[in-house]
Amino acid sequence: MLKIGLTGNIGSGKTTVAKVFELLGIPVFYADDEAKKVMVTDEILINSIKQTFGAGSYFDDGTLNRKYIAGIVFNNEAELQKLNAIVHPATFRAFDNWLQQIKHAPYVIKEAALMFESASYKMCDRTLLVSAPLENRMARVMQRDNVSRAEVEKREARQFTEEKKRQLADDIIVNNDWQLVIPQVLELHTLYLSLAKN
Ligand code: ATP
């Protein structure tokens, strides 16, 4: 099964683009949402989180104590990396399981914000970057999440620059204020269908 890795910096429109592919019948795995789910469903992961960060990581009813975890990893790069290092393999397992359920799709898309930063793009056959000017991205996220410019800048600073991602990506969709996205998606859909046949 052809696997397309879809990524882009904060506010670029990854999810918006992914929804268009879904409308075309292409299954999309939202890796960042799944990463949150596996933290309460994957027993191997739950055990390693408890071992690494302490039993207080979970409440007695099995739900994740997000405040506790956030208190440890917030502004602490080393702890955040530790958490990512144990969550990523569980997300990969979830992706593999998901993939096994897909029977009739020509190709699939895996959407993840930090696909290049985490090197997980190497597990996809091809990568697609959604690119948008910084000003557009800032304005969209400030409006969507009701956060300050400084907050968006902080999140942006944790990601590779768009320039670097452009060099790594196989395909690019430009999602600025004036270029239409749907024709770009349709063109790539045609390409991916032909690649999937070969
Ligand atoms: P994040 O990395 O923060 O999750 P994302 O890359 O998935 O973001 P989206 O959530 O798809 O981005 O888009 C960010 C916001 O911008 C959303 O509110 C979306 O509706 C809006 N948006 C996306 N594309 C456009 C566009 N071309 N014009 C105006 N608004 C847009």
Which pLDDT tens digit goes with each residue over 63-81? 999 999 999 998 898 999 8
Q: Of the candidates 101, 120, 137, which is a domain's last residue?
A: 101
Pair (82, 178) in one structural domain = no
Are residues 163 and 193 located together in one domain of the fold? yes
Residue 198 has pLDDT above 90, yes or no: no
Cβ-proximal residues to 161 (8 Å cutoff; 6+ apart), any chain: none
- Type of residue at 4: I
Q: Give the pLDDT mean for 148-162.
A: 92
- In a shared domain, residues 113 and 176: yes
pLDDT band of residue 113 (cuts 50, 70, 90) is very high
For residues 159 and 9, is the Cβ–Cβ distance under 8 A? yes
Residue 121 and residue 197 share a domain: yes
Ligand 1 centroid–CA 109 distance in Å is 18
Mutate to test the pocket of ligand 1, among 9, 16, 145 (most ligand atoms within 8 A of CB): 16
pLDDT of residue 74: 85
Residue 21's pLDDT band (boundaries 50, 70, 90)? very high
The pLDDT of residue 119 is 86
* E strand map for the chain: 2-8, 28-30, 107-111, 126-131, 171-174
Residues 97 and 114 placed together within one structural domain of the fold: no
Average pLDDT, integer, range 7-30: 97
State residue 131's pLDDT score: 97
Same domain flag for 111 and 97: no
What CATH number does residue 12 fall under? 3.40.50.300
Q: Which of 42, 69, 101 is the last residue of a domain?
A: 101
Please give the number of the atom of ligand 1 that sits closest to the Cα of 12. 6
Question: Same domain, yes or no, for 150 and 89?
Answer: no
Same domain for 10 and 69? Answer: no
Q: How many domains does the chain have?
A: 2
| 57 and 127 within one domain | no
Strands (E), 73-156: 107-111, 126-131
**3-class SS of residue 107:** strand
* Ligand 1 binding site (Cβ under 6 Å of any ligand atom): 8, 10-16, 113, 140-141, 144, 175
Averaged confidence pLDDT in the chain: 95
The structure tokens 């979830």 sit at 94
Q: Distance from the CA of 7 to the center of ligand 1, in angstroms?
A: 12
Q: How confident is the model at residue 118 (pLDDT cuts 50, 70, 90)?
A: confident
| d(C-alpha 52, C-alpha 55), whole Å | 9
Please determine, for residue 92, whether its predicted confidence score (pLDDT) is greater than 90: yes
Domain that holds residue 53: 33-101
Cα 73 from Cα 78, distance rounded (Å): 8
Long-range contacts of 167-171 (CB under 8 A, 24+ apart): 168/116, 168/121, 168/127, 168/129, 169/7, 169/127, 169/128, 169/129, 170/126, 170/127, 170/128, 171/126, 171/127, 171/128, 171/129
Supply the pTM of this predicted model.
0.92
Q: Mind listing the pLDDT tens digit for each residue in 48-67?
A: 999 999 999 999 999 999 99
Which residues are 129's β-sheet partners? 7, 172
- DSSP readout, 18-38? HHHHHHTT--EEEHHHHHHHH
**Is residue 34 over pLDDT 90?**
yes
If you write DSSP's letter for every residue of 42-63 in order, what string do you get? -HHHHHHHHHHH-GGGB-TTS-
- In terms of domains, do 112 and 145 share one? yes
